[in-house]
Structure 1
Amino acid sequence: MPVNLLLLLVFAAEPSTGPEQGTLVIVGGGRLPASIAEEFIARAGGIEGPFVLIPTANVGEEWGEAYVRRSFLARRGAEQVAVLHTRDRAVADSESFVAPLRTARGVWIDGGRQWRLADAYLDTLTHRELWNVLKRGGVIGGSSAGATIQGSYLVRGAPEGNHILMAPGHETGWGFVSSTAIDQHVLARHRQFDLYPVVCRHPHLLGLGIDEATAAVVRGRYLRVVGDSVILVHNSQEVPDDPDVPYVTLRPGDVFDLQLRLKVEASGNEARPEKRKGL
């Protein structure tokens, strides 16, 4: 493909950005630091909730009271916590099933395998009601598989195994962050280079590799890093300073403009690009 045509396709694509209303808390797996748990609860308006837990990415069969009691929400005093789980798309498309989402202020998606979340809920009434949680100003969070599903491109979506990065027929996420591919456990599982071939094949995508115990808190076009480790940003539209390190490293407290694809300095309610090389 000619370079000029490739660039035209890239810049004509939908920009990378989060939802216009509401907040996303996208966690790279592992333990959940207090800073991330508190961020999620605050974005929901407090521990009063109501909250919804979605365990569908996992393979367990028991999602009752014991599961709720083990959740970080219950351990912090939340009492209004509902569980939403099915593998039947007809159920996911039913009014009775989505009822808890219509009053929820916060939704948390547990880890496992992201293809299970896509197979059960993508383009169903459940998916639409999750968007409505954000439109009401609520928060959607998730860890590991619950992080990857929030991007538009589904990395490691093959049922055959999570070693397959790009799997035709299993490449569509829920799209809460447009034009992105989200990976998790990136340093803990030595995945720091895994998103590079994804963004090279799909140059309109911004790759977000989130390490364990770390969250991307996304509001609109801005991403802020919360937690203990790093987020690695892969952008095929930018030539890296070091060809052996094809990503930008974001650390706790850093802010990143998803649309400009630049690390920015936050000042009050404003954010301005840092003095560094752009696109």
Structure 2
Amino acid sequence: MRVFVKTAVTAALLVGASSLPALAQTAGEGSLIIIGGNLRSDNETVWKRYVALAGGDGDRIIVIPAAAGSPQRAAEAAVKTLKQFGADADLVQIGPRYKDIDLRKAANDPANVAKIKAAKGIYFLGGDQARITQALVEPDGSQSAALKAIWEIYRAGGVIGGSSAGAAIMSETMFKDPPPVLDVLKQGIIPGKTIDKGLGFLTDGWFVDQHFLARGRFPRALAAMQATGTKKGFGVDEDTAAIISKGQLEVIGYSGVVLLDTASATGEAKAAPFALQGAKLSYLDRGDKYDFKTGTITPNPVKDPAKDKLDPAGADYKPYNEDPEAWPTILGNRTLAEAMGNLIDNKQNEQIGLAFDLRANAPNPEIGFEFRLYKGAGSMGWYTSALGGDSYTVKDLYLDIRPVLLPKPLYAPK
């Protein structure tokens, strides 16, 4: 690991374009705040930005607790936190877990609709994202009056955001009721069950996933993208937000965002077990930005575009790491980000990771997966220790995933 501090700069510079294809990215004129889940109540950076985008102190933000298992309790906690950071927050009682409130009436109640229309921001709580679509979309697929009001806010320049389940519903396609990650890879994607329609605030085929690094969800996102023909997506880590506003994605909070590009990847869309070759991954650290129109990644200003750049194709490339590295639990908490940072700063050109299932009831326990992460055309990175610890921005590493057979038992007492 690097232990020295590099010189920081005060202005962000454009330092290289990602290969992700992109046009417009939202269906409204407002902003999106896509939070990866487990947002701490003391994450001042995210909460204050939420309030600021909704107009600032004293402006109204409505909490929608439809996804929550205990909606009233969860909504009241979110309202309290938003008020602590300056918002005039309130809630609407819409959700299938309200026992004494008719769901369809609540979603079309003029009083609830009036509350929503008076707001400048909407905050969807976490839980089960299928409950959000159940609550706000009518059985015939049309929009409820509440959902129409939410779209009015968004089109008028307001902010729409959510955490966990509230993040999943942002894209046109979302995970609905997926099994564990390895089960998705073994059994494949089932439309209407594993995935379903989201609310589509984020357009142009962008796919969104949450709890991304903490729960090692990048393979399931790639599987969903491959099954649906989606070429671009991103996953947001816990206690972290992707702010999408004015054509840019900005990362704030605790961790980072992984950009996924399958435009040049190969693999059978419906193959089970899952296999894929040539997907591109980029890692955006906190403070980094991505421009949807140009595909440009702008690292956090503390990463000097010249001094802190790691370009494997450059004559001045002097990586810190030299030894081969392997990752026996590639789906572990933030292991992917660690592997990407290690590889872009390593004289080695590839690293191998594994994922396997030790559950007694696991389907096809003999099947595991190999993850080959490697450098290629356009691979680049930036490093700093100014944020505390080793912080990397990584552009365009490549990933192959293939199923492998594991001997049983995998291990035995010596």
Q: Give the TM bin, normalised by the shorter chain.
A: 0.7 to 0.9
Q: Sequence identity of aligned pairs in percent?
A: 27
Shift of 1:141: 1.4
Shift of 1:162: 6.8
Matched, 1:177 2:202: yes
1:264 matched to which residue of 2?
Answer: 297
SS of the equivalent of 1:182 reads strand
Matched, 1:104 2:119: yes
SS of the equivalent of 2:250 reads strand
1:189 matched to which residue of 2?
Answer: 215
1:250 matched to which residue of 2?
Answer: 284
Q: Which letter maps to 2:198?
A: G
1:38 matched to which residue of 2?
Answer: 48
Matched, 1:86 2:66: no
Shift of 1:218: 0.7
Pairing of 1:179-258 with structure 2 (within 5 A): 179-238=205-264, 246-258=280-292
SS of the equivalent of 1:151 reads coil
Pairing of 1:105-144 with structure 2 (within 5 A): 105-122=120-137, 123-144=143-164
Q: Which has the larger radius of gyration?
A: 2
SS of the equivalent of 1:233 reads strand
2:191 matched to which residue of 1?
Answer: 168
Answer yes or no: is the 8 Å Cα contact 1:57–1:116 preserved in 2: yes
| Matches of 1:211 and 1:31, distance apart in 2 | 10
1:58 matched to which residue of 2?
Answer: 68
Change (3 A) 1:151 1:162: farther
Query: Which ranges of structure 1 fall in alignment gaps of 5 or more residues?
Result: 1-10, 267-274
Change (3 A) 1:237 1:118: same
Higher helix content, 1 or 2:
1
| Matches of 2:71 and 2:45, distance apart in 1 | 30
Q: Which structure exhibits the higher relative contact order, with contacts defined as CA atoms closer than 8 Å and separated by 6 or more residues?
A: 1
| Matches of 1:91 and 1:180, distance apart in 2 | 30
SS of the equivalent of 1:31 reads coil
Change (3 A) 1:41 1:207: same
Deviations 1:200-259 (A, max 9, x none): 12233422111011111012432111112111111111459xx68742111112222335
Answer yes or no: is the 8 Å Cα contact 2:67–2:130 preserved in 1: yes
SS of the equivalent of 2:220 reads coil
Change (3 A) 1:125 1:106: same
1:4 matched to which residue of 2?
Answer: none
2:76 matched to which residue of 1?
Answer: 67
Q: Which letter maps to 2:34?
A: I
Q: Which letter maps to 1:263?
A: T
Answer yes or no: is the 8 Å Cα contact 2:239–2:254 preserved in 1: yes
RMSD over aligned CA atoms reads 3.2
Shift of 1:97: 2.5
| Matches of 2:125 and 2:245, distance apart in 1 | 21
SS of the equivalent of 1:81 reads strand
The number of equivalent residue pairs is 255
Shift of 1:111: 0.4
Change (3 A) 1:199 1:73: same
Answer yes or no: is the 8 Å Cα contact 2:30–2:154 preserved in 1: yes
Change (3 A) 1:189 1:107: same
More divergent stretch after superposition (123-132 vs 35-44): 123-132
| Matches of 2:54 and 2:202, distance apart in 1 | 19
Deviations 1:149-207 (A, max 9, x none): 1111112x02x757686442351111000112211111111213221111212233422
Matched, 1:148 2:157: no
